[in-house]
Amino acid sequence: MCITVSHRFCCLSYSFSILYVLKLKSVHNRTAKNSIFVGNDKNEKNYQKIYKKVPAFRQEKADRLKHREDQAQSVGAWYLWMKIQERHKIPQDAGQSFNLSHSGKYVLCSAGVSGERVGCDIECMRKYHQRLAEKYFCSSEYERIRNADEAERTEMFYRYWVLKESFLKATRKGLVMGLNTSEIQIPKQGDPFFLRQPEEIREAYYLKEYQTDGARIAVCSTNPNFDENILDMTDIYKREMIVELKD
């Protein structure tokens, strides 16, 4: 999973759902301590301990991935979901009320507690992809990005990207539905909202966005009640992980 228990682990806690963001140690850092996957024997052993805790279907999914970092993220995302279920007593058959995402050094899980549909996405910000924005976003969204100051262009691109991805994941339609089938307004104040949803999606969806170090996060749900509070879970999970990783 590449969890580093000494790294920051924070929770964005909603009245309708809970969203955990787990910061990972880079798997390329071969001197890291207490991480579940880094490139040495001790931490490979820790990875195997977490691997054995997740269900067989998740193990098989990880095994099909080519790169070890991808395998670690896949196992780590599901392990994070298991911990959320345990902590908040969410039933095993939560179905569409939880969603997973990961990017770079982060693993993300959003979970509802009232049966609502939930989707989440996290993306580490890198460079601005003008061709992707022009091809996949609505014309109004692309124009807003294009007309933004150069310093804001990259961030605006990733804000739209995670918002649209979280919506596609919440509906469980995925990219088959297309990023440009919905149109989103990002106001200067307040939460983003839909100007247009696909005709086949009759239910109303709501959006919330967050930012963490070097990454943008978005959550989409059929429940409009989002909490603004951020709870730092570093020490709690550090203690739990240390206990679990002992021989």
Looking at every residue in the chain, the average pLDDT score rounds to 77
> What pLDDT, on the 0 to 100 scale, is given for residue 109?
85
Report whether pLDDT(222) > 50: yes
Q: Could you identify the residue written with the tokens 């951020």? A: 230
pLDDT of 110 strictly over 60: yes
Among the residue ranges 69-83, 183-197, 221-235, the one predicted with the least confidence is 221-235
Strand order in the sheet with 9-13: 98-103, 106-112, 17-23, 9-13, 230-232
CB 33 within 8 A of CB 6: yes
What would the mean pLDDT of 63-71 be, rounded to a whole number? 87
Q: Residue 19 — very low, low, confident or very high, per pLDDT cuts 50/70/90?
A: low
User: Could you tell me if residue 193 is left (phi over 0), alpha (psi between -120 and 50 degrees) or otherwise beta?
Assistant: beta
Query: Residue 77's pLDDT band (boundaries 50, 70, 90)?
Result: confident
Burial class (CB in 10 A: 0-12, 13-18, 19+), 133: buried
- Kindly state the tokens that stand for 63: 């095994």
117-135 confidence digits (pLDDT tens):
999 999 999 999 999 999 9
Q: Would the pLDDT of 225 be above 90?
A: no
Residue 13's pLDDT band (boundaries 50, 70, 90)? very low
Strand partners, 12: 19, 230
